[in-house]
Amino acid sequence: MLRKIKPTIDFDFIYNEVKDKYGINGNESVAPPIILKMMLLLIFYNVRSERELVLTIPERIDWLWFLDYDLDDDIPNHSVLSKARARWGVEAFKTFFERIVWQSVQAGLVDGSELFMDSSMVQADASNNSVVNKQSLKRYLNTSYQILESRLEEEQKFSDSDQQSKSGAANRKYISTTDPDASVTRRGKGKSKLKYQVHRGVDQKCEVITATEVTPGEVHESHRLESLVDNHEKNTEITVETVVADSKYGSLENYLACQDRDIQAHFSSLEQTQQGSGTKKGIF
């Protein structure tokens, strides 16, 4: 796979995206394309940690070739990844994703007219022990909550974002002092956990992800349909003609939205799917 990626994707674009993030003093930095490639290896091969990645690179000839390293070259310290991630910010990675999608369109790997949608829950990197009750006076005895409260007030003062706060009953009451953006969520059996939800749109031709969003875990899939369609059309410059998804997207609002946009909706009605599945089943 790396043999296909390397000649197809030009990673040098990252120079222009992050040139304002570096100064003129200090030690010479690791080349941004190398850092970006290392991050790609980390995710692509599901490596457990950045430390493990750096230890594994000298043992993998294909990784060394992908990074343009020789056998006797020094491998960067694992800390360069976390420092670059903090220095570059979200915008650099968003640009990277959009460029990859556009290059896929130009290479004929994306048809663009038919979009598949789905989402998956991702557990937040925070313990349930960090959750405090916002309506309890005991929260003021928690030093972490006091720090979080002052930080959130400061961010709200300078933020221009129109993003709505979490709306679920549990999340209006509870908050994590470690990761306040994550929501207390439960799916099926088991205890509630701090989670996010990853929403994605996938083009049908070569299964290229063309649109993606991350929201708190409580946000229902059906609420992101139009946003995913908008992002797909923005990234590919191709109008969506058909949307395919499971019944969780089958809300009345989504059927009307597809009708207004002249999009064929291939998903079952959520209301019909849920009929007979509640606690009354088998009683009457």
Domain residue ranges in the chain: 2-88, 110-122+196-273, 127-160+167-181
d(CA 6, CA 79): 24
- Which CATH class, in words, describes the domain spanning 110-122+196-273? alpha beta
Provide long-range contacts, Cβ within 8 A and 24+ apart, for 147-153: 147/177, 148/175, 148/177, 148/180, 152/180
Q: Which two tokens stand for residue 58?
A: 């000298």
Q: Which two tokens stand for residue 226?
A: 């139009």
In order of 106, 112, 187, 211, the CA distances from 9 in angstroms are: 12, 20, 38, 18
d(CA 62, CA 68): 10
Q: Which residue has the tokens 């996010």?
A: 196
Side-chain-side CA neighbours of residue 34 (13 Å):
16
d(CA 109, CA 51): 34
pLDDT (tens digit, 0 to 9) for every residue of the chain, 284 residues total? 888 888 877 888 888 888 888 877 777 889 999 999 999 999 899 998 999 999 999 999 999 999 999 999 999 999 999 999 889 988 888 888 998 899 889 989 999 999 999 999 988 888 888 777 766 645 555 565 566 566 655 655 555 544 555 556 566 667 777 788 888 887 767 778 888 999 999 999 999 999 999 999 889 899 999 999 999 999 999 999 999 999 999 999 999 999 999 999 999 887 776 666 555 555 44
Q: Read off the pTM.
A: 0.73
